[in-house]
Amino acid sequence: MDWTASAGRFLGSAVALLLVGAGAWGAGAGTAAASPAQATVGTDSGPAVLWAAPDGHGSACAAHTPCSLDTAQGQVRKLEGGGSPSGVRVELTDGTYRLARTWQFGAQDSGTPGHPVVWEAAPGAHPVISGATRVTGWQQKGSTGVWSARVPRDSATRQLYVGGKEAPVTQATPAALHFTGDWSGSATGYVLAKDPTARAWFAALTPAQLARVEFDYPAGNGAWTDSRCGVAGMSGTTLTMDQPCWRNVTDIASFSQGTGGLPSMSTSQMPATIQNAPGLLAPGQWYLDSGDTGGSADTLYYTPAAGQKMSSLDVELPRLERLVQGAGSLAHPLHDLTFSGLRFSYATWNAPSLPTGFADVQSNLHRTGETNQGLCTFSDPAGSCPWGALTQPLANVSFSGASRVTLTANRFVDLGGAGLSFMYGGTHNVVDGNEFTAIASTAVSLGCTYDPTPTRTPAAVIEANCTPDPGLVRGDTVGDNEILDHTTVSDNVIHDVGTDYRSACGITLLFSRHTSITHNEVYDLPYTGITAGVIQGHVDEADHPQNSTNVNADNTISDNLIFDVMQVLDDGGAIYMEGHQTQYVNAADGTLDPVTTLANGLHVTGNVVYNDGSRYEAFYDDAGSEWIGFSGNVEFHPLAAIGAQGGCSSTGHFWVTGNWFADPAGNYLCNGPVDSHVSGNTAIPASPGPGDLPEAVLAKAGVTAAHRSLAGGVPLHTSYVSAPAPVAAGSGTDEVLVAGAGFSPTTPVYFGGRLASDVRFVSAGFLLATVPAGADGTDVTVGPYVPRPAITTPAGGSTGLGASITVAGTGVAGDSVAVSDTSGGGCTATAGSDGTWSCALSGAADGPHTLTAVQTSRDGVASKASSAVLVYVGTPSAAARVNDTDPSIAYSGWDYSNGRGYGDLDDDLHYATTDGSSLASTFIGTGVVVFGEEYTDQGDISVSIDGGPATVVDTVPADGARHTDVPVYSSGTLSAGVHTVVVTKLSGSYATFDGIEVDNAAAR
């Protein structure tokens, strides 16, 4: 192998330390001894120690003359092949290790039981394993604000990382491009004859540019999906889409005995965003011109965001997809290997750019073959087998045929696929004490979609789909030995993943036994927190429970802290389950033994979940789920939710006991289970206070004390603050419960700017803070107190502003205030000695803008103190229609439907089935009209403006006929300015919402 070296920083005395013992330096553990002159050979008293550096050279691999990763790996193989009695350790010094190709590990890289080969950070070092090229040589293109740089020929990536963060590729909404949206669909794509603006825009692209354009369809194939398809070309007014992606999104094969729909998207569905075209470049976005103009290099374009200077930006262009790959076979596994204290970053995953696209089915599993992929014998004609054999996201760090592999104290950050995966016959692997963040897909994936029953699936099918190299495992005898077994995923912090493929889960568990997912913190996700048995149950339910079986047994999901999930998509949960979760056990008389069978089932215990953004259950045992025990869990949700536990078309055998739930348990919306035993649970408030929750359960959930530095080292995040409650009856002292992430025993809490009288550290996710006498107990700041930056405009958030907007406000003297605009512009100001500041935004396009001010302290620490105003640039139209999919509308408890064919605006609408479901939209104008449907299965809704008295509206028509896209409420004339309309379902089976019309009398 050949790794390209970079100019890494060489540690002096830190590198010269010889490590003894098995401490993980990346976690701050270990013991130092005298420095040797060369690499040491293992003895009975300790392992052999080698040193590597980004600019390492030679073969010594000693402290003062470290070698490259390639050379170190060769030395490890020699030492292990020579029977090193105590294992080998490789210390990686500081810097970035830029890999020229995948860092591969095989059986020859193994250690021995009890003496693993260890690849770890040297003392005080933070080595980065990178699959990217750093982009330099930037040149500005005239006065456009666009910069360009030459990059290697045939560069291919779906991600670019700027200043340590993923930058979005060029993109815009159809509305921002002034498309009318009147597109008609077909089996091959769209006809744009009725949208001349869109037709002209696409026609202006070269064929190569057009072939790179991609459409995004959030909720296109169900509220839980986010499909993407590329454009193939254009002829006349016809826009042809990539195949097979378009068929797999719009024409999914039907299947028999389905329990839970896998719907097709309407061919006329408009994309939410149009991406990856050069003309869309906006501040903070990039575009890669790959081979369009010939020559020996490609060109990368980037427009700096407000406040960025190209001369000081670190721009990383990923080149590798597989960053680290460990692969063995069942006969000759990779084993006894440890990675510790490393950062795995800057890799991509390019398959979604192929004509197969990203035809989302569930939890990032997608179709890349025929429209009946994975439908097995349940479709006509039959699809690929086994049932649910869908394509998985590529993992940037992956292991197969591997046992006793440990990853601890690492960081998986800025990755374009899944973070980490284990599959194919892995046993006793451990993922402990790592951070996973800024990952495009799921953080951790366990198992393979092609091996639910490895003794019945042809070995060639498993080998071809569950391993990176079928030839490597060709000699294996595949049976129960292929089952992923005894995997531990513990004490990890997983947050802000699913950044690109939003149906990603934090942890995806497919098929395995004796898996323990415990003490993890999972939060800030667009979809589900932890899922088990994806897609497996979609042909099973109580009436036909044995259509699809799998090997799952003896798995546990325990003591995890899961919150702020389901923030974008719907129809998922904090913990979501499908399909069989046990192997049946019979008693001596041949009948089923329910006690032993449940004991071997899935155990969901001691988890604390809250702020689940879905309207469905937090503990969601859905299609075909069976043999699950729920005990000792806590669930609360301040907003409306259907239930704490339940599902749809479940098979049954659930025991739900000894939990603390704010919402109902045993809630099944359709095709109820065989049995559901719900008893002994404690009802708690939807917005619980300090005394409403079992403190011992809160303290135990999430990362344990041994990994407190990890849990307290993530960015401070406050998710929930309770109302003040008396510490004791008659005490006169109030206390609040604070929930979030990144807390430590020294995290301060302020009430109205006054320090809390006392802060009790419960865990990295919970604090109990005492309100000082006379302080406002509802004005809570967690972390350093920074006064909120006030923001105003000359028009005070009204209409008719020019293209140059002066923004002013007050803050903290010396601090900087960054103002961002939803259209991509921005400006930065510094508060003067009197705390006042102002800056100007220029070139703002006509239309509504949300201006957000975020204050940063003078030492560079960003605070969460922010404020926002809504303004309108230019003269607003007399009436502007806003569809129900507009991002300005905030939903709670509503679902989405498209392609009904009833005449809805854009053939889609939102609907609610639960009373109390509400939506809110803030607008600038002098009036608003609410649109929806009138039909006999609907009832009353209430509409309120600016928090005023609600108007009750009956949406049942007098003539009994269905009326779609009709005004159901009109506000009348309002004062010119900013207003908020709130719509709430009161009665009936359904409430519907098809958008609003914003009126402006001043523009008439």
The residue whose two tokens read 């006349």 is 236
Question: Is residue 701 over pLDDT 90?
Answer: yes
Task: State the pLDDT at residue 85.
Answer: 66
* Closest by CA position to 676, among listed 667, 687, 688, 664: 667
The residue whose two tokens read 């039907």 is 254
- pLDDT category of residue 613 using cuts at 50, 70 and 90: confident
pLDDT top residue among 626 and 260: 626
* 13: Cβ contacts below 8 Å, ≥ 6 apart: none
**Positive or negative torsion for Cα 469, 470, 473, 479:** positive
Helix, strand, or coil (residue 862): strand
Question: Is residue 633 over pLDDT 90?
Answer: yes
Cβ atoms of 627 and 653 within 8 Å: the answer is yes
Q: pLDDT tens-digit profile of 860-908?
A: 444 545 677 777 777 778 888 999 998 789 888 888 888 777 889 988 8
Q: What is the mean pLDDT of residues 6-26?
A: 28
* Closest by CA position to 15, among listed 95, 97, 118, 92: 92
Give residue 241's identity as a one-letter amino acid code. M
Give the burial string for 639-652 (b: 16+ CB within 10 Å, else e): ebbbbbbbbbbbbb
CA distance 610 to 644: 10
Q: Say if residue 731 is exposed, middle or buried (CB neighbours under 10 Å; 0-12, 13-18, 19+).
A: exposed
Phi/psi at 952 (nearest 5 deg)?
A: -90, 130
Task: State the pLDDT at residue 425.
Answer: 96
Question: Is residue 37 over pLDDT 50?
Answer: no
Task: State the pLDDT at residue 23.
Answer: 30
Q: pLDDT tens-digit profile of 652-676?
A: 999 999 999 999 999 998 899 999 9
CA distance 483 to 397: 20
CA distance 701 to 921: 36
Question: Is residue 762 over pLDDT 80?
Answer: yes
The residue whose two tokens read 């649970």 is 681
Give residue 268's identity as a one-letter amino acid code. S
Q: How many other CB atoms are there within 10 angstroms of residue 595's CB atom?
A: 8
Q: pLDDT tens-digit profile of 774-824?
A: 999 999 999 988 776 677 655 444 445 556 677 888 877 888 888 887 766
Q: How far is it between the farthest Cα atoms of the chain?
A: 93
Task: State the pLDDT at residue 3.
Answer: 32
Tokens of 365: 């599993």
SS (H, E, C) 13-28: CCCCCEEECCCCHHHC
Task: State the pLDDT at residue 32.
Answer: 31
Q: pLDDT tens-digit profile of 622-631?
A: 999 999 999 9
Tokens of 190: 């769209």
DSSP 200: H
Residue 178 region by backbone torsions, left for phi larger than 0, else alpha for psi between -120 and 50, else beta: left
How wide is the angle at C-alpha 96 spanned by C-alphas 51 and 290, nearest 5°?
Answer: 140
CA distance 406 to 111: 12
Q: pLDDT tens-digit profile of 927-942?
A: 999 999 999 889 999 9
Give, for 968, the enclosing helix (H) or strand (E).
strand 963-970
CA distance 263 to 267: 12
Helix, strand, or coil (residue 748): coil
Question: Is residue 22 over pLDDT 80?
Answer: no
Tokens of 525: 């996700």
Question: Is residue 405 over pLDDT 50?
Answer: yes
DSSP 801: B
- The stretches of 703-856 forming alpha helices (DSSP H) are 708-712
Give residue 49's identity as a one-letter amino acid code. V
Give residue 103's identity as a one-letter amino acid code. W
Question: Is residue 118 over pLDDT 50?
Answer: yes
Cβ atoms of 838 and 816 within 8 Å: the answer is no
Q: What is the mean pLDDT of residues 403-427?
A: 98
165-167/160-162 β-pairing: antiparallel
| Average pLDDT in the chain | 89
Question: Residue 50 forms beta bridges with which residues?
Answer: 90
The residue whose two tokens read 């897909």 is 441
Q: pLDDT tens-digit profile of 965-986?
A: 999 999 999 988 889 999 999 9
* Closest by CA position to 822, among listed 175, 241, 130: 175
Tokens of 170: 């060029």
DSSP 485: B
Question: Is residue 38 over pLDDT 70?
Answer: no
Question: Is residue 859 over pLDDT 60?
Answer: no
Q: What is the mean pLDDT of residues 738-752?
A: 95
Cβ atoms of 909 and 266 within 8 Å: the answer is no
The structure's pTM equals 0.83
Give residue 864's identity as a one-letter amino acid code. K
The residue whose two tokens read 């890289």 is 109
In order of 393, 431, 996, the CA distances from 420 in angstroms are 10, 9, 44
Task: State the pLDDT at residue 421.
Answer: 98
Tokens of 859: 């030492």
